[in-house]
Amino acid sequence: MMQNSKTISIKDTSSERLITMLKTALGPNVGSLLTDDSVIELMLNQDGKLWSDRLGVGRQDTGHTITPQDAERIIRLVATGTGAECNESKPLLSAELPGTGSRFQGLLPPVVPAPVFTIRKKALLIFTLDDYVTQGIMTEHQKAAII
């Protein structure tokens, strides 16, 4: 019997499937934000508004909304896909999205009025203290106090 030289890991396949399902659940417009390198964080507020945090821009309303039902479905999808549990008795979810390194935080009622979540993408750029000084985020004095 000839062995296939390409071995597909079950873990890799399920990770890819989770990311595909998450993008589908988010919809094409919001799902595309997950692959946009300028987006470092997505935040769903209790009012259903989705916000993004972009490099060099900061936080801004994406103009997209997610219903409480869809938000809960997304949170439960991540929980199931990462082997965690999230429900009324365990309403807090902290997980790493497989394959991406993105951090996912989700909360369900009763700890919040409506489901909320944050997806913090793995950093593509690491900023130095000198970068922060150059960008005016901190002063030389503040940098010296840290060092």
Quote the pLDDT of residue 12.
Answer: 59
Domain membership of residue 88 (yes or no) is yes
Number of domains composing the chain: 1
Domain membership of residue 121 (yes or no) is yes
Contact assessment for residue 71 and residue 27, using Cβ atoms and an 8 Å cutoff: no
* Domain at 59, CATH number: 3.30.450.90
Domain membership of residue 116 (yes or no) is yes
Domain membership of residue 63 (yes or no) is yes
Per-residue pLDDT of the chain (147 residues; tens, 9 = 90+): 444 444 444 455 677 887 788 888 888 877 888 889 999 999 999 999 999 999 889 999 999 999 999 999 999 999 998 999 999 999 999 999 877 889 999 999 999 999 999 999 987 777 889 988 998 989 999 999 998
Residue 42, burial from CB neighbour count under 10 angstroms (0-12, 13-18, 19+): buried
Contact assessment for residue 130 and residue 138, using Cβ atoms and an 8 Å cutoff: no
Q: 55 Cβ partners below 8 Å, 6+ apart?
A: 38, 40, 125
Structural domain that includes position 79: 11-146
What pTM was estimated for this model as a whole? 0.76
Contact assessment for residue 55 and residue 38, using Cβ atoms and an 8 Å cutoff: yes
